[in-house]
Structure 1
Amino acid sequence: MTLDFSGRVAIVTGAGGGLGRQHALALAARGAKVLVNDLGGAVDGSGGSAGAAQKVVDEIRAAGGEAMANGASVTDFAAVQAMVQQAVDAWGRVDVLVSNAGILRDKSFAKMDLADFRLVLDVHLMGAVHCCKALWPVMTQQKYGRIVLTTSSSGLYGNFGQANYGAAKMALVGLMQTLAIEGMKHDIRVNCLAPTATTRMTESLFPPDMVEAFGPEAVVPAMLVLAGQDAPTRTTLCAGAGGVEAANVTLTQGAWIGRGPGAPERLQERLEAVRDRRGETVPASGAEQGANELRLARAPR
């Protein structure tokens, strides 16, 4: 079945280049009207120019699509609200959000300035929160929404020099988990995408023979599936160079160690049993941790 976005309206943040540009072009090519958002700043978030977003809009229009530009910083909630209103005024609705805007301020944690930590959280995490918050009433009212948050393997699994970026990216998974639960009754589906791609933020990290294979366009199929009408919800897809994986936060079966003075030593002795991944589950909500602990406490001994 063809993934068709005809009649849909999408907002893509950070869409002036790299991954965001590819997302915007792909959605437009499949029929969506696209609001292309980009502050037009440098990789570290400094500066700004509306030219990057407008260039992508021009590309979409040249191919026969419908698009408009927006230069709001996702860190400015009022500007994000105005961005959403811009799309609603022009097209009457917003069906898809691809929250892609981001910056890098990489350094080892020992050398990292707290201002750089805070700014990365502000752009990645609060930027996504601002977009979701501004769109939530729109999507709730229309009983339809597809939100794709851009996470990263740096958050899921860690990466040297990216404590700020990793913390922000893992926080987006937590945001997804709850928004997906709360949005279910309104058919708002919320997912995460962890891309591996050569962009101006990452191109220096790839071996020369793999730069083309890891082009940002290879991530687009995963985005389209997560943003489509038949999208899953509470799903994290990792994608790069044509490969796609799913990442999950799991819960082991665990072990009962009891309480009292000897409990810490019993846990120390049984730590491998607690960490044993055989039979692990992907909880449907946070309540399942408590339910599992209740099961362990009630098990006959």
Structure 2
Amino acid sequence: MSGPLLCEGRVVVVTGAGRGLGRAHARAYAAEGARVVVNDLGVGPDGTPGPDSPAGQVVDEIRSAGGTAVAHGGDVATTEGAASLVRTALETYGRLDTLVNNAGFLRDRMLVNLEEDDWDAVMRVHLKGHFLPLKHAAAYWRAEAKAGRPPRARVVNTSSGAGLLGSVGQGNYSAAKAGVVGLTLVAAAELGRYGVQVNAVAPAARTRMTEGVFAAAMAAPDGGSFDVMAPENVSPLVVWLGSAASAGVTGRVFEAEGGRITVMEGWRAGPGVDKGARWTPAEAGDAALKLLAGAEVPGAVYGVE
């Protein structure tokens, strides 16, 4: 590759980086010159422990390609695991520049069959697993800024189309991924003063989590060499967002699939009316129907025929 590498000298943490999107992100960052902390707990798609963590395998792949990486096997949905993740970056490489929150799994059920444990488990890994690494990384960056060393820090969170539109059979996952968007917006607003930019991506790619949900769309197109659903297609945007080159971009959500990148535009005020006094229920209903007649129709929930 000619020219400077996009992430030369940066230290990047990627959670859930043993497989799928996280693995692709870690390898892409390393290829752009970053020193990478590869986090993976080594669990199955449903969050239960697996026999061996793949984080070390990804580290070996990066090092074999001439890159620099270290493995971390802690549970980032715990305070100690998240704290040790940041500590690993600081103790190994002396700094932390970018956090990519990617870890997650599925416990899909229709709402009437969704158990409380399934709800809690998915919320824990997706929301708490985003919050805790972000909290500990932000504490480090705030301390750096207050010490007169303002960082050019970046956070890339992982949402989903399910979090933006909803997905039948994934009430817990959709709610968690919508929560990731809310967390992204708040973090971008709170941490900007310390030199931290926070964005989110909603990827569509072939991973262990998605192969059962979008099986019909997972295969590479016949007669072409471009695998539209390869997780590596999402990584270039994630790498750019995690680099210093993305200066000024914060509090945004991007959808990435194949060769397509879309800026997602979230909730904003549509048609409205103000009576200037309290409505009766019938009046409120009439007003709501008139407003809906002039409002945009929302996108269809995934899985609705």
Fold in common (TM above 0.5): yes
Structure 1 residue 163 corresponds to structure 2 residue 171: yes
Structure 1 residue 11 corresponds to structure 2 residue 13: yes
Equivalent-residue separation in structure 1 for 2:192 and 2:9 (angstroms):
22
Give the AA of the match of 1:213: V
Alignment counterpart, residue 219 of structure 1, candidates 212, 230, 234: 234
CA contact (8 A) 1:16 1:52 kept: yes
Structure number with higher relative contact order (C-alpha < 8 Å, ≥ 6 residues apart): 2
Q: Against the structure 1 CA distance between its residues 82 and 267, is the aligned structure 2 distance closer, same or farther, given a 3 Å change threshold?
A: same
Q: Against the structure 1 CA distance between its residues 225 and 274, is the aligned structure 2 distance closer, same or farther, given a 3 Å change threshold?
A: farther
Give the aligned partner of residue 252 of structure 1.
270
Structure 1 residue 267 corresponds to structure 2 residue 267: no
Tell me the percent identity: 37
Give the AA of the match of 1:79: G
Alignment counterpart, residue 76 of structure 1, candidates 75, 78, 81: 78
Give the aligned partner of residue 259 of structure 2.
242
Give the aligned partner of residue 54 of structure 1.
56
Give the AA of the match of 2:115: D
Give the aligned partner of residue 25 of structure 2.
23
SS in 2 for 1:97: strand
CA contact (8 A) 1:39 1:49 kept: no
SS in 2 for 1:89: helix
Query: Runs of 4+ in structure 1 displaced over 4 angstroms?
Result: none
Q: Against the structure 1 CA distance between its residues 159 and 29, is the aligned structure 2 distance closer, same or farther, given a 3 Å change threshold?
A: same
Give the aligned partner of residue 215 of structure 2.
206
Structure 1 residue 194 corresponds to structure 2 residue 214: no
SS in 1 for 2:134: helix
1:162-181 matches, cutoff 5 A: 162-181=170-189
Give the aligned partner of residue 243 of structure 2.
228
Q: Against the structure 1 CA distance between its residues 209 and 17, is the aligned structure 2 distance closer, same or farther, given a 3 Å change threshold?
A: closer
- Length, aligned pairs only: 277
After superposition, the C-alpha distances for 1:85-142 in whole angstroms (9 at most, x for unaligned) are 1110111111001100001000001001011101100000001101001111212214
After superposition, the C-alpha distances for 1:185-212 in whole angstroms (9 at most, x for unaligned) are 1120000110000111112323364473
Moved more, 41-50 or 85-94: 41-50
CA contact (8 A) 1:143 1:188 kept: no
Equivalent-residue separation in structure 1 for 2:130 and 2:5 (angstroms):
25
SS in 1 for 2:244: coil
- Superposed displacement of residue 59, structure 1: 0.5
Equivalent-residue separation in structure 2 for 1:113 and 1:132 (angstroms):
28
Equivalent-residue separation in structure 2 for 1:3 and 1:132 (angstroms):
26
Give the aligned partner of residue 95 of structure 1.
97
Give the AA of the match of 1:248: E
Q: Against the structure 1 CA distance between its residues 112 and 48, is the aligned structure 2 distance closer, same or farther, given a 3 Å change threshold?
A: same
Give the aligned partner of residue 65 of structure 1.
67
SS in 2 for 1:64: coil
Give the aligned partner of residue 143 of structure 1.
150
Q: Superposition RMSD on alpha carbons, in Å?
A: 1.8
After superposition, the C-alpha distances for 1:274-295 in whole angstroms (9 at most, x for unaligned) are 44458xxxxxxxxxxxxxxxxx
1:124-143 matches, cutoff 5 A: 124-140=126-142, 141=144, 142-143=149-150
